[in-house]
Every structure is written in structure tokens, then in C-alpha cells.
């Protein structure tokens, strides 16, 4: 095991909203050394991806990856999940595994008065019970992000259903198992006192986005979030109170002036406007990642070391929070060893609380490793949920032209008991509702309410899924009102490249929703739908046939993205990639390997993810990248090591673009400053090459060899050997920062000035170089940037960068006798730029549409007492889509050809989940003539309409 060097510094994540100076060179957080530790043994093979991955099987001629590089482990039942790991798999841990469970309240309307474990008797009595008193005594408290009361003290009213009150630790599995059987579903265990009613709290967030556009979609705005800013209200009796309008007042007053004008116009519209007001509701749902939350930890009190095996979508963030939590306690800690594993979350393992309970359990484990692993009932009770949305739209459209004129929206999302990411998520939801359409005027107010529901988190779609679905249902309603074909109506209003969105920002890149709509309009599922309805219903009495459409222009990312990547080339041509992102099942590891192809001719041979040790690339961060002023950013940027944000959590949609950007840029540096000059040197020494020096633009990889202008193809191994021999660049570590566009910086590499879309760069020279040039441990030379161009802070309010267009046609049948909806087929059209791994893209579409089907037709839970917080929910009463629900054999998809061969890959996994939701609900309307506005659309709802 490695020992800490004296010069290791911390690795915070952007999600933690760093508020103090955090120096990031490696792994020292405060006084605690933090390791994502290579273990080099059986556990090493179990835990660390470089051992779980196999060399990519690359078909050079076809240019495709033959297998997922984590595939062999997963298909043979290897221990790849944190859930699979026990103490015996960790050779340096004590081998006796202890187990823990968390006692949780099932009421939130009265005081909590303790618990009674007498039903366990002496035999099943826990070996250690941890309560709020222990935490208070030892100074252990939740990281700030999670709020107060990690364990609820007696006498307080639970803030939410399922709030934790105690951790019970058993030193062996059998007693744990049987004790749990007695405790689970037993209402007598927790004692409650006086009725207090649920806690009343201010919302987690309320914010308003107002825009009054110029004369055309291309003119400057009169008022907008980008030009001015979004603004927030005050609160009275926990309700938002928006400021009084004033034309010449402060920002909020001016915003309200324009909002009032929009409202006035909708109340008293011009004669040729049609104004529709509709209310939509989407459900609370479980992310239902199949691996329930878990962690396994061991606290070595003698050495003051804590070891944690965790599934997480954000290892940097977890390292930061865990170390800080312990540092601020009276528990002695010198070193923290964090072992992130493959995982899956759909948002449920992004900023989730369970690892910190596991950390506490480990601290009180009496020297034994303690495993805390939710079963499915506990996962429903305590896992992060999808926000429930109520969406109130008022939309005006000009009857004569069919053009959208104005939109007012009130959006309320239920964030549950803890804030988590509710503040950010409702902003994303609010700023996404414009989707693929141009609105000249918009007034969008959104609130994330605090409630006694189970915490809601960053579930797939991140608020945009809900608002965009409502928008798509509204589009069909308006088209119906105008008597227009729904796709024709959409095309009249489609947001085209160069137009401003609801924040007044112009999305980056080419918008292709129009292409998606045009293709859908001529697809046989759509063009023949009326005739097929007649034929089908005639042949199938008691069945109603329908086809619906949904389309979105979906931006991915959250406006503050950081990513690190290191690409290294060995002397024999082997390529290794190290990236800060984590594998969450979407194929990130494969995607990162393939991201090397553009510049290195083939994918990486080895990929290590969730890397937190960036000793070779010192980057510092401070301040809140979302809230800092331009002056503050300009001042901080004078430090050549500073960046506004460090490393993002992994999500299904950010890996292909945000994470692979840095990998591609690192590979580009290695190519331009290593392989290319090596090739020039080889060709120059070859008499056949003549005297002509090819230009870089002529460079082409052909089946793993580099050629240019007809010169001899040179295999990567030969180039790598030459680059090393000449001491050229053979490794590059880069950091990228994106605030809806990438930061750029200038560096001098080997005497050449370079400007690249990165903000930090270290390079490693080949074996033949003078090692004394190295300034970092891994023989890297850290380059001070000569100039940096960060995206302006105001850019955060744009809330749009690159975006993905997706549309789905759904063909379905409604059974008149049962109200059951059966999908006959669906067809998805998707623009996702250049695909990294086509098979993974196709798989993501299939998985995404299944998610959308579940949310449109099946998945739902009550928010409160009858909901999952009561601990009785499982898959027996929460229907996840099965094979028979998703049109397995008949679904199809078309990926739009990229606009150019170097168009970047775009995030798409979440995008594919959204349009099918509206397509189904709109298809039901086509089938039975009724528009549903509450999801999911259940057989009961349908039967209530059909009678």
C-alpha cells in the first residue's frame, strides 16, 4: 500500500458548492490524507477497474468496439459492485464482517420519543446502538449539504418520512438477519409522542425566469435571464412572495414588471390569440436502480484510518465530504481510503446519504468492518426519489399563423425532506420547458417545496423530463385547438439554430429538432395513422388504436462541469487513459477508451475511472462557480492553477461529451506534440518521402497506422517508439471547465504556443528526454498557462450549451374493457453528434424509452404516509416495465448522421427517455379522444373516461 506523500492536497467536487479555498493537487483534505487506494491483491482485482477491464477488442477496419470492456466481468458474475464486497475480499481488513441497519421513522406528524428493542430479546440484541447522542458527543454531523439531524434526537418531530433515528450494529450476519426480520414492518419499535403536525418550512428554492424578446428571435432581448438575471422572492408563511413590479426598480422589480405585462396580455389577449391554460402533474417515482444503496467500511482506531467501499456517481465529492465530516469530529482520523466501485444509480447514487451512515457505522463498529446495505424495502424508504411536479401552463398562440406568442408557467416540484439538489433541479426544469420551440415572451416561476416526503434527488431527466413532457402534451392540445396536424404545428414553432431560448441565450451548435420533426412527419407510423386506425379498429372490436408523437431539444449538463483526463502512450504503443468520471453502467469506460481513436488511431488499452489522484496536474478551485461575480472570477483567474470547478459527478448523459472532451484533448496534445513530429521525422529520413513535409491537416489514421498525403502508413507502436526516443510528448494531463462553453487557455509546449479548450495542462516527455524538466511526481511537467479565457459568469444564466434533439412516435392500443394500454411499436429519432460506441447509443435509446414507458404508464407512488417512507414498498406494488411492456421486437430507431466527422458526441441517454412519454399520452388521446394531464395514465383513469 502506498504511503502519503507530504504534498497531497484535496479533491472536492463541484456539487459540494465549495465555499472555502480548496487546494486540489492530490489527496490531502485538511489534515486527512485521502486515497482512492490501489490495493494490489484479491480486493484489487475485485475493486479496481483496470483489473476488471479487458483490452478493447477493436475492429480497426470497421472502426467499432466489439465488446464493452467491462463486459467479461459482468457476464461471469464477478464481484464488480460495492454490494458484492465483504470483509473477506479485502485482505488488509479484519475478516469478520459486521452488519448494520438503520431504524427509521414512519410518521412525520408527531414527536419522536425513542425506540424499543425489547422484542429482540438478549439473543438478537444489537452489539452497538448508535443514536443522536453518540453523534453529538463525538462531534459527528452530516456534511453541510445534507442539512441537520443525521440521526434524529428524541423529542423532535421527524422532518420527513423515513428519517433515520438509530444505527444498529451486529457483529455477525445471522443475528443481524433475524433481528431485522423482527424489526422490519413493526410499528411498535419506534415510539411517538405528541401530535405536532408536519414541519412547515420555507421552500428549498423559488426562482423566476422572465424574458421579453426583441422584434425577431434573433434580436436583442428587452429583458431576459441572460441579459439581466433570474430572480427570487421573499417568503411569508413559507410561501413565495414576489416583489412589486417597477419598471425602473431593481432587477426583481423590473422582472416582475415584465412578468406582470405578460400576465396582463394573457388575461386580455389580442383578438386573434388563442389562450389555453392547462395543469399537468407528474408523479413521485423511484429511480429503481437495481443495485440498492450500500457501503462497507472499516475504522482502524489504532492507525486512525477509515476504509470505505462505496458505489457512487461522484467519488471526488464523496471523498471531500467524508474527510471533512471526520475532520470536524472528535474521531481521530489520519487517512481515508475510499474504494469506489462500478455502480448504477439513475441519480440515486449522486449526492446520496447512505455512505455517511456507513461511515458512522464503521466508526462505531468496534474494530470490525461494518456493512450497511439496503434491501429493496429500505431502498424505497430511504433512496432518493424523483420529484413530483405540478405544472401550470398558460400558452398563447396566434390563430392565423399558428405561431406561439407567449407562455406563463408556474412549476412546483416536491423536493421532500432534504434539499439535496432541488434548488438546481427546478432551475433546470424551468429553463428546459421551452424545449424545441420559440416563445417570444415567457414568464416561468418555479418552486421546490420542502415536505415530509422522502428526499428527492437528481433522477434521470433532472426536472427537464417533467416540464418537457408537459410542453409536448400542450403542443398537441394547441394543435388540436387550431385544427392543425400536431407535427405541422410543431414545425411552425420549432426553435431553429441562432434563435434565443427562454433565457435569451442562443444554444450552441446546430439545432436539429426540425429535422427530427420532418422525418417523423413522413414516417409510415405517422403518415398512415388515420387509415391504420380505421383498419385496426374494424378488425379488433373493443380496441382503440392511436399514434402519438413527442419531440424535445434537450440540453445536457448542468452549467458547471469539470473534468480531468490523462492520456499516456507507452513505448510499445499501448495507450492508457485515466479519467475523473465513474462507470455507472452506461459504458463510460468503453466510451473513454474510444475517445482516443480520433487522435491516436485506436482506443485505449487500459482505462481507469473515478481517478481522484491528480498529483501530476495541480488544479485549485475556490468560490461558488454558480454565484461568483465576474470580478471575483477575474481576480481568481490570475492564479494559473485556478479553475472555477474541479470534477463533475457522472451521469448517463455527461460522460459522452463532458468527460470525453478532456480525454480527446489530452490525446490531441499527445498527437500534435508527440506522434506527429515523430512521424515527420520518420518520413523525413525515408528517401521515398522526398522533401515534402505534409501538413497536419493531411494526417489520417487508417487501420491503426498514420498516413498523410500518401506517405508510408506508420503503425502507432513505431510512432510511439520514435516519440519516446526523441523525448517528445508521450503523455498529457488536462483539466476542462465548462459553463455552457469550454474555458480556453494558452500554453507553451516544447516552445510552441498552443491554445486549447482546456484550462490546465501537464505534459510528460518520452523516455529519451531530460527527466529534470519534470515538475510533478509522474515525470510530468506542469505548464503554467499563458492566458485563460473562462466563460463569463453570466453565462451560467444561459442554461444551455450543446443540445440533443430526440423525437419518438408511439403506436398503441387501448383495450376498452380493461383500460390497458399496449404498445405495438415505437420509433425514435435521435441526433447525438458523432457516436463513440454505436451499440451503447442504441442500448441507451432502448433503455431510455423503457424508462419513459414506465413513467407514462406504470410507475407511481404516493408522496406521504402511504408512500415508500412507510417502509412497505417493493416491486410487488411498483411496476417496472417488463419485456412485454416495451414493444421489444418491434421498436426501431434512427440516429441522424452527424453534420461533420468531427462533430462532438452529445449526451443522449436521458433524452431518449423523454419524448416517448408524451408520444404515449398523445397516442392515447388519438386512440380514445381524451387528453390526460396526470402521469402515469393508468387503466383506472382510462376506464373512468371510457365508462
Binding positions for other proteins, rule: CB under 8 A: 66-68, 70-81, 83-84, 86, 88-89, 97, 123, 172-175, 177-178, 288-292, 342-344, 346, 375-377, 584-587, 837, 839-840, 842-851, 874-876, 880-884, 886, 888-889, 891
Instruction: Give Cα 517 distance to the centre of its chain.
Output: 27
Give the Cα separation of 340 and 671 in Å (integer): 31
Closer to other proteins by CB, 333 or 809: give it. 809
Give the Cα separation of 502 and 560 in Å (integer): 19
Closer to other proteins by CB, 125 or 726: give it. 125
Q: Minimum distance between the CB of residue 290 and other proteins, rounded to whole angstroms?
A: 4
Closer to other proteins by CB, 45 or 946: give it. 45
Closer to other proteins by CB, 142 or 380: give it. 380
Closer to other proteins by CB, 84 or 305: give it. 84
Give the Cα separation of 120 and 70 in Å (integer): 43
Cβ(152)–Cβ(136) under 8 Å?
Answer: no
Q: Minimum distance between the CB of residue 751 and other proteins, rounded to whole angstroms?
A: 45
Give the Cα separation of 603 and 32 in Å (integer): 37
Q: What angle do CA 75, 660, 36 make, to 5 degrees?
A: 65
Give the cell for residue 813. Answer: 392500443
Give the cell for residue 474. Answer: 400542450
Distances (CA, A) of 859 to 215, 457, 848: 44, 17, 14
Distances (CA, A) of 252 to 206, 239, 271, 550: 13, 17, 31, 35
Strands 190-195 and 699-702: unpaired
Q: Minimum distance between the CB of residue 412 and other proteins, rounded to whole angstroms?
A: 28
Q: Minimum distance between the CB of residue 451 and other proteins, rounded to whole angstroms?
A: 26
Phi–psi pair at 96, nearest 5 degrees = -85, 120
Q: Minimum distance between the CB of residue 67 and other proteins, rounded to whole angstroms?
A: 5
Closer to other proteins by CB, 63 or 197: give it. 63
Closer to other proteins by CB, 324 or 348: give it. 348
Q: Minimum distance between the CB of residue 70 and other proteins, rounded to whole angstroms?
A: 7
Closer to other proteins by CB, 136 or 890: give it. 890
Q: Minimum distance between the CB of residue 74 and other proteins, rounded to whole angstroms?
A: 3
Name the β-bridge partners of 295. 372
Sequence-distant contacts of 774-778: CB under 8 A, at least 24 apart: 776/615, 776/616, 776/617, 776/618, 777/5, 777/615, 777/616, 778/615, 778/616, 778/731
Closer to other proteins by CB, 380 or 747: give it. 380
Q: Minimum distance between the CB of residue 615 and other proteins, rounded to whole angstroms?
A: 31
Instruction: Give Cα 334 distance to the centre of its chain.
Output: 32
Q: Minimum distance between the CB of residue 910 and other proteins, rounded to whole angstroms?
A: 13
Look up residue 177 and give its DSSP letter. Answer: H
- Contacts of residue 347, defined as CB under 8 A and 6 or more positions apart, other chains included, come to 287, 313, 384, 457, 458, 459, 460, 462, 651
Cβ(577)–Cβ(663) under 8 Å?
Answer: yes
Closer to other proteins by CB, 345 or 402: give it. 345
Q: Minimum distance between the CB of residue 658 and other proteins, rounded to whole angstroms?
A: 19
Closer to other proteins by CB, 124 or 716: give it. 124
Q: Minimum distance between the CB of residue 925 and other proteins, rounded to whole angstroms?
A: 24
Closer to other proteins by CB, 80 or 569: give it. 80
CA nearest neighbour of 99 among 181, 186, 46, 167: 167
Cβ(835)–Cβ(817) under 8 Å?
Answer: no
Closer to other proteins by CB, 713 or 843: give it. 843
Q: Minimum distance between the CB of residue 182 and other proteins, rounded to whole angstroms?
A: 12
Give the Cα separation of 283 and 470 in Å (integer): 12
Q: Minimum distance between the CB of residue 358 and other proteins, rounded to whole angstroms?
A: 17
Q: Minimum distance between the CB of residue 89 and other proteins, rounded to whole angstroms?
A: 8
Q: Minimum distance between the CB of residue 68 and other proteins, rounded to whole angstroms?
A: 6
Cβ(469)–Cβ(935) under 8 Å?
Answer: yes
Closer to other proteins by CB, 323 or 837: give it. 837
Closer to other proteins by CB, 1 or 290: give it. 290
Give the Cα separation of 945 and 947 in Å (integer): 5
Cis-peptide into 936, omega within 30 deg: yes
Distances (CA, A) of 282 to 375, 468, 547, 855, 859: 27, 11, 21, 9, 10
Q: Minimum distance between the CB of residue 817 and other proteins, rounded to whole angstroms?
A: 22
Phi–psi pair at 715, nearest 5 degrees = -60, 150
Closer to other proteins by CB, 369 or 791: give it. 369
Closer to other proteins by CB, 349 or 739: give it. 349
Q: Minimum distance between the CB of residue 584 and other proteins, rounded to whole angstroms?
A: 7
CA quadruple 436, 588, 296, 325: dihedral positive or negative?
negative
Q: Minimum distance between the CB of residue 420 and other proteins, rounded to whole angstroms?
A: 21
Give the Cα separation of 382 and 354 in Å (integer): 9
Strands 28-29 and 32-35: antiparallel
Q: Is 619 exposed, middle or buried (0-12, 13-18, 19+ CB in 10 A)?
A: buried
Name the β-bridge partners of 788. 745
Closer to other proteins by CB, 69 or 331: give it. 69
CA quadruple 425, 431, 433, 435: dihedral positive or negative?
negative
Cβ(237)–Cβ(203) under 8 Å?
Answer: no
Phi–psi pair at 319, nearest 5 degrees = -60, -45
- Contacts of residue 124, defined as CB under 8 A and 6 or more positions apart, other chains included, come to 175, 178, 179, 182
**Cell 489520417 -> residue:** 700
Give the Cα separation of 259 and 116 in Å (integer): 55
Amino acid at each position: 500500500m502506498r504511503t502519503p506523500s507530504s504534498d497531497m492536497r484535496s479533491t472536492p467536487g463541484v456539487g459540494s458548492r465549495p465555499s472555502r479555498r480548496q487546494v486540489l493537487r492530490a489527496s490531502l483534505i485538511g489534515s486527512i490524507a485521502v486515497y482512492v487506494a490501489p490495493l494490489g491483491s484479491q480486493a484489487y482485482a475485485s475493486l479496481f477497474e483496470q483489473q476488471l477491464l479487458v483490452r478493447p477488442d477493436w475492429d480497426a477496419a470497421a472502426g467499432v468496439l466489439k465488446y464493452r470492456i467491462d463486459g467479461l466481468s459482468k457476464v461471469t458474475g464477478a464481484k464488480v459492485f460495492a454490494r458484492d464486497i465483504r470483509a473477506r475480499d479485502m485482505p488488509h481488513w479484519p475478516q469478520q464482517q459486521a452488519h448494520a441497519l438503520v431504524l427509521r421513522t414512519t410518521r412525520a406528524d408527531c414527536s419522536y420519543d425513542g425506540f424499543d428493542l425489547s422484542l429482540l430479546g438478549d439473543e438478537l440484541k444489537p452489539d452497538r446502538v448508535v443514536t443522536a447522542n453518540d453523534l453529538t458527543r463525538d462531534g459527528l454531523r452530516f456534511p453541510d449539504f445534507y442539512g441537520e439531524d443525521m440521526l434524529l434526537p428524541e423529542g423532535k418531530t421527524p422532518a420527513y418520512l423515513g428519517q433515520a433515528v438509530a444505527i444498529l450494529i451486529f457483529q455477525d450476519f445471522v443475528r443481524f438477519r433475524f433481528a431485522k426480520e423482527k424489526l422490519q414492518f413493526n410499528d411498535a419499535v419506534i415510539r411517538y409522542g405528541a401530535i405536532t403536525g408536519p414541519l412547515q418550512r420555507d421552500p428549498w428554492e423559488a426562482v423566476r425566469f422572465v424574458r421579453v424578446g426583441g422584434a425577431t428571435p434573433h434580436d436583442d432581448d428587452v429583458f431576459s435571464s441572460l441579459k439581466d438575471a433570474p430572480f427570487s422572492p421573499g417568503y411569508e408563511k413559507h410561501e413565495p412572495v414576489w416583489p412589486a413590479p417597477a419598471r425602473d426598480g431593481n432587477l426583481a422589480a423590473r422582472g416582475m414588471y415584465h412578468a406582470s405585462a405578460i400576465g396582463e396580455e394573457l388575461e386580455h389577449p389580442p383578438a386573434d390569440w388563442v389562450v389555453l391554460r392547462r395543469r399537468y402533474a407528474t408523479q413521485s417515482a423511484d429511480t429503481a436502480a437495481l443495485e440498492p444503496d450500500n457501503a462497507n467500511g472499516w475504522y482502524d482506531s489504532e492507525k486512525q484510518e477509515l476504509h470505505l467501499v462505496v458505489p457512487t456517481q461522484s467519488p471526488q465529492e464523496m471523498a471531500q465530504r467524508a474527510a471533512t465530516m471526520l475532520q470536524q469530529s472528535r474521531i481521530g482520523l489520519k487517512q481515508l481510503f475510499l474504494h469506489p466501485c462500478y455502480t448504477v444509480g439513475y441519480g440515486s447514487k449522486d449526492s446520496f446519504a447512505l455512505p455517511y451512515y456507513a461511515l458512522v457505522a464503521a466508526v462505531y463498529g468496534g474494530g470490525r468492518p461494518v456493512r450497511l446495505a439496503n434491501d429493496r424495502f429500505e431502498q424505497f424508504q430511504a433512496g432518493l426519489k424523483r420529484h413530483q411536479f405540478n405544472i401550470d401552463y398558460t400558452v398563447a398562440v396566434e390563430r392565423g399563423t399558428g405561431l406561439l406568442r407567449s407562455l406563463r408557467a408556474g412549476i412546483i416540484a416536491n423536493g421532500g425532506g432534504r434539499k439535496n439538489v432541488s434548488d438546481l433541479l427546478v432551475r433546470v426544469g424551468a429553463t428546459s420547458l421551452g424545449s424545441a420551440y420559440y416563445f417570444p415572451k415567457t414568464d416561468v416561476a418555479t418552486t421546490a417545496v420542502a415536505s415530509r416526503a422522502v428526499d428527492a434527488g437528481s433522477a434521470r431527466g433532472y426536472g427537464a423530463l417533467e416540464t418537457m413532457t408537459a410542453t409536448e402534451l400542450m403542443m398537441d392540445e394547441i394543435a388540436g385547438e387550431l385544427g392543425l396536424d400536431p407535427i405541422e404545428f410543431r414545425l411552425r414553432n420549432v426553435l431553429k439554430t441562432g434563435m434565443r431560448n427562454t433565457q435569451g441565450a442562443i444554444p450552441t451548435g446546430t439545432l436539429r429538432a426540425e429535422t427530427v420533426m420532418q422525418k417523423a412527419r413522413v414516417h409510415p407510423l405517422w403518415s398512415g395513422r388515420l387509415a391504420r386506425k380505421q383498419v385496426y379498429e374494424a378488425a379488433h372490436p373493443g380496441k382503440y388504436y392511436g399514434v402519438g408523437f413527442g419531440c424535445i431539444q434537450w440540453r445536457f449538463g448542468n452549467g458547471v462541469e469539470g473534468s480531468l483526463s490523462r492520456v499516456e502512450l507507452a513505448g510499445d504503443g499501448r495507450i492508457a487513459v485515466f479519467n475523473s468520471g465513474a462507470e455507472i453502467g452506461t459504458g463510460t469506460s468503453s466510451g473513454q477508451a474510444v475517445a482516443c481513436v480520433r487522435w491516436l488511431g485506436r482506443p485505449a488499452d487500459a482505462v481507469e475511472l473515478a481517478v481522484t489522484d491528480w498529483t501530476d496536474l495541480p488544479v485549485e478551485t475556490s468560490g461558488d462557480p454558480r454565484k461568483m461575480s465576474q470580478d471575483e472570477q477575474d481576480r481568481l483567474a490570475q492564479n494559473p492553477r485556478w479553475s472555477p470547478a474541479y470534477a463533475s459527478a457522472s451521469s448517463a448523459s455527461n460522460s459522452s461529451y463532458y468527460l470525453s472532451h478532456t480525454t480527446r484533448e489530452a490525446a490531441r496534445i499527445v498527437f500534435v506534440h508527440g506522434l506527429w513530429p515523430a512521424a515527420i521525422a520518420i518520413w523525413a529520413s525515408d528517401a521515398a518521402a522526398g522533401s515534402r513535409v505534409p501538413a497536419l491537416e493531411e494526417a489520417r489514421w487508417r487501420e491503426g497506422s498514420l498516413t498523410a498525403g500518401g506517405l508510408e502508413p506508420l503503425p502507432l507502436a513505431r510512432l510511439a517508439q520514435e516519440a519516446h526516443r526523441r523525448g517528445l510528448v508521450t503523455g498529457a494531463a488536462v483539466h476542462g471547465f465548462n459553463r455552457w462553453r469550454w474555458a480556453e487557455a494558452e500554453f507553451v509546449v516544447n516552445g510552441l504556443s498552443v491554445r486549447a479548450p482546456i484550462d490546465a495542462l501537464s505534459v510528460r516527455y518520452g523516455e529519451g528526454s531530460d527527466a529534470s524538466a519534470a515538475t510533478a511526481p509522474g515525470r510530468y511537467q506542469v505548464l503554467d498557462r499563458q492566458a485563460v479565457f473562462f466563460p463569463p459568469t453570466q453565462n451560467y444564466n444561459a442554461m444551455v450549451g450543446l443540445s440533443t434533439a430526440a423525437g419518438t412516435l408511439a403506436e398503441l392500443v387501448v383495450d376498452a374493457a380493461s383500460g390497458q394500454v399496449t404498445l405495438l411499436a415505437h420509433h425514435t429519432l435521435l441526433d447525438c453528434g458523432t457516436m463513440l460506441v454505436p451499440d451503447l447509443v442504441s442500448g441507451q435509446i432502448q433503455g431510455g424509452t423503457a424508462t419513459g414507458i414506465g413513467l407514462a404508464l406504470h410507475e407511481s407512488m404516493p408522496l406521504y404516509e402511504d408512500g415508500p417512507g412507510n417502509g412497505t414498498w417493493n416491486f410487488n406494488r411498483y411496476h417496472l416495465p417488463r419485456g412485454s411492456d416495451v414493444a421489444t421486437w418491434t421498436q426501431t430507431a434512427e440516429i441522424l448522421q452527424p453534420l461533420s466527422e468531427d462533430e462532438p458526441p452529445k449526451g443522449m441517454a436521458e433524452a431518449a427517455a423523454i419524448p416517448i412519454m408524451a408520444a404515449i399520452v398523445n397516442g392515447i388521446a388519438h386512440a380514445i379522444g381524451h387528453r390526460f394531464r396526470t402521469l402515469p395514465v393508468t387503466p383506472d383513469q382510462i376506464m373512468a373516461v371510457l365508462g
